[in-house]
């Protein structure tokens, strides 16, 4: 019998534990989260991803927050699947400005096998550029996940979005279990799992705790956890929801760090509306990934120049994954110095400490 087969099953995180963390004094919570963060990561390194919408609008799902749902009049123009050369150009631009991962999103409930073939070609061009590739295409079957893995896909993004209890208030065209099924196919295929959700949709603190506990209690926690602040889209049912207190958002990042010590936590949508101070606290609490670039999928992202300035002010440098091919040379040796075009390392070799999301 191997050692692993006699091992205890992973500890189950109880909702009471998560709620007790949320209830702690802010300084105590952040101190603990930051200590855990430091124990597992270079506290000054942030992973940098860029997003591209490869198929925009006319989605049959009814996600109440989304500009791309066909159920709401959001004024968004639908677009066909982008041609391969446009994807290559966008990925190249992203690499030149300092991103190491290129994430492509499609407004689908699920891809057909033919559509998946087109996306697989896109994954190929991103990999040729030496970048990590991530896609988010909706629900997948097990064979589709296997095809994506064979194409070299590094990450699949599929958010649980909120707590199981609140899910039905947000989306009715699929259920929470559907999301878990796709996540299981992705995990079984060997692709890294990227799964998180949205805060500020009118959920309670108990929902936020239950959402994080659901992620932490997956058979293995996701390697990457996007934490989106709701971007309120006119025309959707969530257009006028009161905004979430930034302090509560920072607390949520801290609790996520404590419950998922080795996951990368990404500050995702909503950063444009967040102050520099709030973002700085999020980094201290354990956030260590961002979407970088002027656009998310259909909405504006924080400005690139502002991000460079913020990284400089905070002394943060971009995390360079092993095997990443930089615009001005290769960076496939962990010990090699590398200057990201994004800056943040004072213009010299930054000698990054590399972390792998395995």
Q: Active-site residue numbers?
A: 59, 63, 66, 103, 134, 194, 266
Note whether 233 binds ligand SAM by CB under 6 A. yes
Q: Is the CB of 78 or the CB of 313 nearer to ligand DTB?
A: 78
Is the distance from CB of 102 to CB of 52 less than 8 angstroms? yes
Note whether 66 binds ligand SF4 by CB under 6 A. yes
Q: Sign of torsion, CA 131 356 176 20?
A: negative
Please choose, out of 184-192, 200-208, 223-231, 350-358, the segment that lies near ligand DTB by the rule CB under 6 A.
223-231
Note whether 200 binds ligand DTB by CB under 6 A. no
Give the span between the Cα atoms of 303 and 240, in whole angstroms. 24
For the chain, the 3-state helix, strand and coil shares in percent, each to the nearest 5, are 35, 15, 45
Note whether 255 binds ligand SAM by CB under 6 A. no
Note whether 193 binds ligand SF4 by CB under 6 A. no
Hey, is 233 helix, strand or coil?
coil
Q: How far is the CB of 172 from ligand SF4 (least distance, A)?
A: 11
From ligand SF4, ligand SAM, ligand DTB, none, interface partner of 265 (C-beta below 5 to 8 A by class)? none
Burial label, 319 (beta-carbon count in 10 A; 0-12, 13-18, 19+): buried
Q: Helix H segments across the chain? A: 3-6, 15-22, 26-40, 84-97, 113-128, 142-150, 167-170, 176-189, 205-216, 246-259, 276-285, 304-314
Note whether 155 binds ligand SAM by CB under 6 A. no
> Residue for token digits 């926690």?
221
Q: How far is the CB of 26 from ligand SAM (least distance, A)?
A: 24
Give the span between the Cα atoms of 14 and 18, in whole angstroms. 7
Hey, is 152 helix, strand or coil?
coil
From ligand DTB, ligand SAM, ligand SF4, none, interface partner of 69 (C-beta below 5 to 8 A by class)? ligand SF4
Note whether 135 binds ligand SF4 by CB under 6 A. no
Note whether 105 binds ligand SAM by CB under 6 A. yes
Residues that bind ligand DTB (CB under 6 A): 51, 67, 105, 136, 157, 159, 196, 226, 228, 231, 268-269, 296-299
User: Which parts of this chain interact with ligand SF4 (CB under 6 A)?
Assistant: 59, 61, 63, 66, 68-69, 107, 138
């Amino acid at each position: 019998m191997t050692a692993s087969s006699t091992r205890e099953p992973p500890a189950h995180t109880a909702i009471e534990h998560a709620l007790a963390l949320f209830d702690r004094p802010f300084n105590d919570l952040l101190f603990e989260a930051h200590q855990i963060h430091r124990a597992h990561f270079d506290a000054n390194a942030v992973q940098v991803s860029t997003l591209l919408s490869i198929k925009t609008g006319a989605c049959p799902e009814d996600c109440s927050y989304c500009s791309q749902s066909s159920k709401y009049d959001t004024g968004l123009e639908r677009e066909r699947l982008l041609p391969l050369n446009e994807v290559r150009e966008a990925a190249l631009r992203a690499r030149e400005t300092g991103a190491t991962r290129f994430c492509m999103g499609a407004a689908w409930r699920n891809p057909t096998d033919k559509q998946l073939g087109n996306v697989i070609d896109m994954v190929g061009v991103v990999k040729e550029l030496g970048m990590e590739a991530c896609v988010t295409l909706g629900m997948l079957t097990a064979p589709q996940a296997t095809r994506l893995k064979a194409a070299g896909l590094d990450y699949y993004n599929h958010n649980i979005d909120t707590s199981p209890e609140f899910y039905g208030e947000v989306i009715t065209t699929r259920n929470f279990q559907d999301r878990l099924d796709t996540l299981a196919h992705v995990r079984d295929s060997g692709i890294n799992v990227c799964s998180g959700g949205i805060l500020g949709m009118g959920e309670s603190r108990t929902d936020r705790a239950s959402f994080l506990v659901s992620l932490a209690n997956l058979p293995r926690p996701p390697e990457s956890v996007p934490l989106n602040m709701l971007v309120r889209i006119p025309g959707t049912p969530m257009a006028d929801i009161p905004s979430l207190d930034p302090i509560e958002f920072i607390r949520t990042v801290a609790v996520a760090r404590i419950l998922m010590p080795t996951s990368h936590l990404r500050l995702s949508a909503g950063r444009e509306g967040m102050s520099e101070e709030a973002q700085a606290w999020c980094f201290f609490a354990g956030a260590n990934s961002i979407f970088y670039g002027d656009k998310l999928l259909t909405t504006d992202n924080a400005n690139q120049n502002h991000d460079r300035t913020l990284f400089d002010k905070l002394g943060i440098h971009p995390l360079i994954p092993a095997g990443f091919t930089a615009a001005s040379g290769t960076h496939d040796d962990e010990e090699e110095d590398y200057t990201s075009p994004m800056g943040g390392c004072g213009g010299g070799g930054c000698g990054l400490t590399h972390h792998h999301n395995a």
